[in-house]
């Protein structure tokens, strides 16, 4: 009885409001059902890189047909357009963790509804330490921790690290992005101790634009372990930028 009263009072005083429209949030989430339903789903997408596609009939996008990436599969449930852009930008660049919790929870709900095979380990895209200091946190690691709490899949943030201070990818065009990433990552393992290297990895990021970052990390891993035929790499992210 007393607990019920406390719960009701908590609901009245602490019910979150929607970050987008200020209506009451859905359950304990800071987004309402109406705004969730208006987010752009990435249901029709390339089965390999999750590039949004016009129709469901194409299984692979033209790029993956001609030159597939080094990762084998991806899970990116939203398109990077509409209100999710503001939620992710507020989280990533302004450190708004309420926005972060919303996008992490929405991702986990979609993960729950999907039939994607779970990896052995989540590997967040590393930030250069100086950029982590500037921003205060690595948003990919923060998201990977939230997904780990939900799914039970462990996070390894030391497996892949940055080797050099590359420029922020979003400031560059496609060819500059590729040059910027050459030798940007290193894998904390060697073929001599690869017995313990996880066979199935999901690289975790917030937004995927061209997929070049994940492709470079996957390439770094597979080139070290190309003698291991069971290495399988996925890319998990919240949102994928459509082609312009």
Q: Which stretch binds Zn ion (CB under 5 A): 17-25, 71-79, 94-102, 228-236?
A: 17-25
* Smallest gap from residue 235 Cβ to Zn ion (A): 11
CB nearer to Zn ion: give 36 or 127.
36
By C-beta, is 18 or 207 nearer to Zn ion? 18
- Inter-residue contact 198 to 122 (CB < 8 Å): no
* Contact predicate 97/103, CB 8 Å: no
Using alpha carbons, list the distances in angstroms from residue 182 to 60, 233, 235. 26, 19, 19
Residue 141 or residue 208: which is nearer to Zn ion going by CB? Answer: 208
Which residue, 73 or 148, is less far from Zn ion as judged by CB?
73
Question: Helix and strand tally (H, E) in the chain?
Answer: 9, 7
Of 166 and 215, CB closest to Zn ion: 215
* 64 close to 226: Cβ distance less than 8 angstroms: no
The window from 18-26, 93-101, 132-140, 156-164 that contacts Zn ion (CB under 5 A) reads 18-26
How many residues does the structure list for the chain?
A: 244
Binding residues for Zn ion, rule CB under 5 A, total: 12
CB 107 within 8 A of CB 149: no
For Zn ion, which is the closer residue by CB, 48 or 146?
48
Distance CA(161)–CA(177), nearest Å, equals: 18
Asked whether 92 and 143 are in contact (CB, 8 A), the reply is no
Using CB under 5 A, pick the residue from 18, 147, 204, 221 that binds Zn ion.
18
Cα distance between residue 214 and residue 240, in whole Å: 12
Q: Is 21 in the site for Zn ion (CB under 5 A)?
A: yes
130 to 169: interface string for Zn ion, x by CB under 5 A: ----------------------------------------
Shorter beta-carbon distance to Zn ion: residue 80 or 142: 80
Alpha-carbon gap, residue 94 to 229, rounded angstroms: 42
Say if residues 203 and 125 touch (Cβ distance below 8 Å).
yes
Alpha helices (runs of H) in the chain, residue ranges in sequence order: 2-14, 33-38, 62-66, 83-94, 97-113, 129-135, 139-151, 174-181, 212-224
Stretch that binds Zn ion, among 22-30, 104-112, 199-207, 229-237 (CB under 5 A): 22-30
Contact code string over 31-70 relative to Zn ion, x by CB under 5 A:
-x--x----------x-xx-x---------x--x------
Footprint of Zn ion on this chain (CB under 5 A)? Answer: 18, 20-21, 23, 32, 35, 46, 48-49, 51, 61, 64
């Amino acid at each position: 009885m007393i607990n019920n009263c406390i719960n009701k009072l908590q609901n009245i005083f602490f019910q979150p409001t929607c970050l987008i429209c200020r209506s009451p949030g859905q359950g304990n989430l800071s987004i309402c059902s109406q705004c969730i339903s208006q987010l752009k789903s990435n249901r029709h997408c390339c089965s390999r890189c999750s590039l949004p596609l016009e129709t469901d009939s194409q299984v692979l996008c033209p790029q993956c047909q001609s030159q597939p990436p080094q990762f084998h599969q991806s899970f990116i449930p939203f398109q990077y357009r509409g209100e999710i852009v503001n939620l992710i930008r507020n989280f990533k660049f302004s450190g708004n963790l309420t926005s972060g919790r919303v996008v992490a929870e929405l991702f986990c709900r979609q993960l729950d509804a999907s039939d994607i095979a779970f990896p052995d380990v989540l590997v967040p895209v590393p930030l250069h330490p100086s950029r982590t200091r500037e921003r205060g946190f690595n948003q990919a690691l923060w998201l990977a921790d939230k997904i780990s709490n939900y799914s039970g899949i462990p996070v390894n943030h030391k497996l892949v690290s940055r080797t050099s201070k590359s420029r922020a990818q979003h400031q560059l065009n496609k060819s500059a992005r590729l040059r910027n990433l050459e030798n940007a990552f290193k894998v904390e393992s060697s073929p001599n101790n690869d017995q313990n290297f996880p066979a199935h990895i999901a690289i975790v990021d917030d937004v995927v634009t061209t997929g070049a970052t994940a492709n470079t990390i996957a390439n770094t891993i597979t080139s070290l372990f190309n003698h291991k035929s069971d290495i399988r790499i996925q890319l998990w992210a919240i949102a994928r930028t459509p082609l312009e």
